[in-house]
Amino acid sequence: MEEPAIIEKLIELDARALEINKKRKKQLKYLASRYKEEEQEIVNNYNKQIEEETRVITKKIVQEAQQEIDQMKLKNKEILKTMEQDFENTLKDITDEIMRQIFQFSRENNG
């Protein structure tokens, strides 16, 4: 092969190499873009999943807290009812004792 033919062949090879390199860079850029998109999609999915799990857990905590509050209210209502009954019984006992002492005093003074 003659020198001009070799140089022309090298120029063609160089041009092909540049074109292949250009295509590879374009493909790499595309793949990097797709990777970032998929990565963002995964992050978004995880965020949605975390939000959903957080919502479910929060709802469960609120329900459990409400159940505890309801139980405490019921218990407090029962305690209050018992205290009211105790108060009424004590008031009746005191009233009965006062009346007994009044009648006893009246009998002693009239008797």
Considering the chain, what percentage of its residues have pLDDT values greater than 70? 98
**Contact partners, residue 56, CB within 8 Å, separation at least 6:** none
pLDDT in tens, 35-79: 999 999 999 999 999 999 999 999 999 999 999 999 999 999 999
Token code pair at residue 78: 């029962």
In the predicted model, is pLDDT for residue 1 greater than 80?
A: no
Q: Tell me the HSE value of 64 on the side-chain side, using a 13 A CA sphere.
A: 6
Question: How much is the pTM?
Answer: 0.55
CA distance 76 to 86: 15
